[in-house]
Chain A
Amino acid sequence: MSENSGTAVLDPPVTDRPPAPVRRKRKRHKHNLAGYGFLAPWLIGLFAFTLIPMVYSLYLSLTKFDLLTAPQWIGFDNYVRLFSDERYLQSIKVTLLYVVASVPLKLAAALLVAVALNRGLKALGFYRATFYLPSLLGASVAVSVMWRQIFSKDGLVNQFLGLFGVEGADWIGDPRYAMWTLVLLAGWQFGTPMLIFLAGLKQLPQDLYEAAAIDGAGRFTVFFKITLPLLSPMVFFNLVLETINAFQTFTPAYVISNGLGGPIDSTLLYTLYLYLKGFGSMQMGYASAMAWVLFLVIGLFTAVYFWSARRWVNYAE
C-alpha cells in the first residue's frame, strides 16, 4: 500500500465537534438499513443462484426431468438407481482414487518445495512465481491438451524414458495408466498450497529451531517434531480446500478422454459423469440426484476433517 491518496479527503483532522450521539440502548444494531442495503446484491444472489437452486435441485432429484417436459415425480427412484448403475459406481471408484492419490501428492510436493524455499535463498521471488504458474493455468483446456500430448505414445515422457532404454506405455490410451496421468497433472499444480505453506513457515518462531539446534536435533527430527506440528493448521486448511477441489475436477478428464471418460471409463470422474448424464443424455433428475450425493460426500469429508482436526491440528498460539 503506497498510494493512499484517497485518504486526503479526511484532512485536516476534526477536533472541535461534539461526538456523534450514541444510541446504543434503544437499537441493538446500529446500521440495519445501511447493512441490508449494502448486502442486498449478495443476498439476492444468494437466494437466486444458491439457496433456491439447491432446493429446486433437491426437488428435481426426486423427478424424471429432461428439461423440455415438466418434471415427473418418481420419489427416490433416482437414488436407488444410482447404486445399481455400474458406470456410476465406476465413477465413484475413479473419483475416490483420484482424490486419495492426488491430494496427498499435491500437498507433499507443496510442503517439500516450500521448506526448501524457506531458507532465505536468493531469487525466492522467481522460484515462487514460477512454481505458482502451473496451478494458475492448470485448469485450462490448453494445459490438458498439452498433457495429453506429453503422455501420448510418442510424446515427451516416452522420449525421455527412451533415453534410459525404457519403452514407455501408451499412458493416455491404457486404462491402467490414464488415471495416473490425471493424478500427476494435479500434482504438477502444487503452487497454491505451496504459497500458503511458505507464508506459514515464515511465521514460525525461530527460538524453537535454535533450541533444537543446541540440542543437536537432526534435520528430520526438526521437520517432524517442530515444523510439521507448527504448520498443521495450514496442512489442515490446504487439505480441506484441495479435497473439495479434487472432487470437482472436470476439465482434464474431459479433454484427455475426448469427453467420454475412457479408455473403458478409467477417467470417468464424478463431475464428468454428471455432465454426461445431465447435459449429454438430458437426464437432469438423475444428474441432480448425483449432485446431491456429491454435495453430501464432500460435506462428509469436510466433517471428518474437522472432527479429526482436534487430534492433530495444533492451534497453540
Chain B
Amino acid sequence: MRSKKSHWRAHAVLIVVLVAMIYPMVWLVGASFKPENQIFSTMNPLPLAVTLANYISGWTATGTSFTVYLGNSLTVSLCTVIANVASCSVAAYAFARLDFAFRRFWFGLMLGTMMLPFQATLIPQYTIFFNLNWVNTFLPLVVPYLLAYDAFFIFLMVQFIRGIPRELDEAAALDGAGHVRVFFSVILPLLKPALLTTTILTFIWTFNDFLRQLVYLSDHSRYTAPLGLNAFVDRASGSSYGGMLAMSVVTLVPTVAVFLVSQRRLVEGVATTGIK
C-alpha cells in the first residue's frame, strides 16, 4: 500500500507541472482583455482593467470580419465530419465483417497509408484539384474525406466493430436482413462511441488544420479562422498585439468548447485506440 504522504508529493509535483503548462494559455486569455500597453508589462495573467477593445479592433482588422473566417471554418469542419464519419464507417464494416477476396491485402495497404506523410501527395493532389478548377473552394478540403481519406478512423472503427459480438449480426441475418440492413440497424447503433470519437477528433483536427487550407484557399472571403489569424499576424507584426492575441483566443474557443463537452469520451477514445 502506498502511503498518503507519497500521494501528497505526487499531487504537489503534478500541480507544479500542470500550472507551468497551463500558465501560457491563462496568460493568453488574460492578455487579450488587457489594454495594449499592459500586455507585456506584467506576468500577472489577470487584467487590472478588463477591456474588450482588442476584440473589437481585432475582429475586423484584416479587412474581412472574423465572422466570415469562423463561418468558413465551421462549414469546412462540419462537412468534413459528416463525410468522414459516413465513409469510414462503411469501409470499416467491410474490413471487420465481410469476407471478400484480397481483404488482407487491402487492409495492409490501408494501414500503410496511415504512415504516409501527407506531403508526399500534396503537390500531385494540388495539381489535380487545380485542373478541376477546385482551388479556392472548399471541395479539395472536403471531398477526400467523402472517400475515407483518413485511414486512422477506419482503423479505429474496425477495432471497435471487432468488439461487437458477431451473434448480433448473425441473428439479424437469420431474420433476413442483408448487409445494408445489418450495417444500419445493428452495427451503426452499437458503433456510436467510436462515431463520437471520430466526430470530435475530426472536428478539432480540421478546425486547427493549417497547411492544407493555406495551400488551397487564397481569397479572404474563403479564408478559414487559422488563415484569418495568420493574415492578421502577417499584417500586425509588431503593431497590434492585443488584437492578435484576442483573435487567437477567438479561434481557440470552438475547439476548446468541443473539448470541454466531450473530454471524457475523447480521453477514453484516445487511450483505447492507441493500444488496440
B103 touches A35 (CB 8 A): yes
B230 touches A53 (CB 8 A): no
Name the A residues within 8 Å of B270 (CB-CB). Answer: 132, 192, 195-196
Q: Which partner residue on chain B sits nearest A47 by CB separation?
A: B147
Name the A residues within 8 Å of B134 (CB-CB). Answer: none
Interface of chain A residues 38 through 62 with chain B (CB within 8 A): 38-39, 41-46, 48-50, 52-54, 56-57, 60
A295 touches B116 (CB 8 A): yes
Interface of chain B residues 5 through 40 with chain A (CB within 8 A): 6-7, 10-11, 13-14, 17-18, 21-25, 27-28, 31, 40
Name the A residues within 8 Å of B209 (CB-CB). Answer: 139
Q: Does B248 contact A (CB under 8 A)?
A: yes
Contact with A along B85-116 (1 / 0, CB 8 A): 00110110111001111010010011001011
A196 touches B267 (CB 8 A): no
Q: Which partner residue on chain A sits nearest B27 by CB separation?
A: A156
Interface of chain A residues 140 through 179 with chain B (CB within 8 A): 140-143, 145-147, 149-150, 152, 154-156, 159-160
A38 touches B90 (CB 8 A): yes
A205 to chain B, nearest CB (A): 15
Q: Does A103 contact B (CB under 8 A)?
A: no
B93 touches A38 (CB 8 A): yes
Checking B172, B251, B275 against A200 with a beta-carbon cut-off of 8 angstroms, the contacting residue is: B275
A258 touches B190 (CB 8 A): no
Q: In whole angstroms, what is the CA distance A5 to B190 when docked?
A: 9
Interface of chain B residues 139 through 196 with chain A (CB within 8 A): 144, 146-149, 154, 168, 171-175, 178-179, 183, 185-186, 188-190, 192-193
Q: Does B64 contact A (CB under 8 A)?
A: no
A255 to chain B, nearest CB (A): 7
Contact with B along A270-286 (1 / 0, CB 8 A): 01001100110000100
B74 to chain A, nearest CB (A): 15
Checking B21, B116, B210, B272 against A254 with a beta-carbon cut-off of 8 angstroms, the contacting residue is: B210
Q: Does A136 contact B (CB under 8 A)?
A: yes
Q: Which partner residue on chain B sits nearest A203 by CB separation?
A: B275
Contact with B along A225-251 (1 / 0, CB 8 A): 000000000100100100010011011
Name the B residues within 8 Å of A222 (CB-CB). Answer: none
Q: How many positions in chain B have a CB within 8 Å of any CB in the partner chain?
A: 107
Name the A residues within 8 Å of B248 (CB-CB). Answer: 141-143, 145-146
Q: How many positions in chain A have a CB within 8 Å of any CB in the partner chain?
A: 106
Contact with B along A190-201 (1 / 0, CB 8 A): 001001101110
Residues of B whose CB lies within 8 Å of any CB of A are: 2, 6-7, 10-11, 13-14, 17-18, 21-25, 27-28, 31, 40, 42-43, 87-88, 90-91, 93-95, 98-101, 103, 106, 109-110, 113, 115-128, 130, 144, 146-149, 154, 168, 171-175, 178-179, 183, 185-186, 188-190, 192-193, 204-205, 207-211, 214-215, 226, 229-230, 233-234, 237, 241, 244-245, 248-249, 251-252, 255-256, 259, 263-264, 266-267, 270-272, 274-275
The 3 A-B residue pairs with the shortest CB-CB distance, nearest first, are A6-B189, A35-B100, A45-B147
